[in-house]
Amino acid sequence: MSVPTGEPVTREATITVVVADDHALMRRNLRMLLEAEQDMHVTAEADHLALVEQHVRGHRPDVLVLDLTMPSGSSLETIVNLRNHSPETRIVVVSVEDTPGFAQRALAAGANGYVLKDLAVEDLPAAVRAAARGEEYLSGPIASRLAALRHTLARGELSLRETEVLRLIALGHTSVEIASQLGLSPRTIETHRARIHRKLNLRTRAELVRYALRCGLLTA
């Protein structure tokens, strides 16, 4: 029978993490979720992007968990900067955005993972472990949608932005709703819509829906 020694229990192969989200409650929940894992330790938290870069350069964590929509700048630009200046830190993006274009941009910027916030309990610990190994991890719904998006882009018919707009049109969203989701103006969306019709030689929304279905863009 083992005898307690009074020494603290040490964690083996601990993954160090910085958590960045501008909402205090979300940061606390993410921290509690990760700290509950025996192989993870959160070394710092950040509520704005300048502090994110400061903590990553100061603590040199294995993984940064980064909200996609942080204040005072662009999370995507921060990812690019960190990949250039702190390449040893892997990055997992957490977001409420389930449009695959957002995930594509995050991964293209240098992120290793993309986790939907409503699936964080199930996905985030696994995403952090995968990122620490240098592997890509995507929440299930995003993985299937991103695969369809990449397949469509490979056909060379539409740009990434046009493919995003096409998907949202096929899902029944108005130009105003699409503009709000993508952070663009309704006029810009109408321009993209016209280009999509012209490039695909399709005239009606029903034809666009059938095209999106064939390409797998409406995968759940």
At 153-178, the pLDDT tens digits run: 888 888 889 988 998 998 899 999 99
What mean pLDDT is reported for the chain? Answer: 89
- Rg (C-alpha) for the chain, rounded Å, is 20
For residue 69, give both structure tokens: 């929509």
**Ranges for all domains in the chain classified under CATH 3.40.50.2300:** 15-142
Structure-model confidence comparison of residues 10 and 59, the more confident one = 59
pLDDT at 8 (0 to 100): 45
**Ranges for all domains in the chain classified under CATH 1.10.10.10:** 155-215
Q: Which of 1.10.287.3510, 1.20.1050.10, 3.40.50.2300, 3.40.50.720 is the CATH number of 15-142?
A: 3.40.50.2300
Topology of 155-215 in CATH? Arc Repressor Mutant, subunit A (1.10.10)
- pLDDT tens, residue by residue, 4-16: 434 444 445 699 9
Decide: pTM greater than 0.85: no
Residues facing residue 16 across a β-bridge:
41
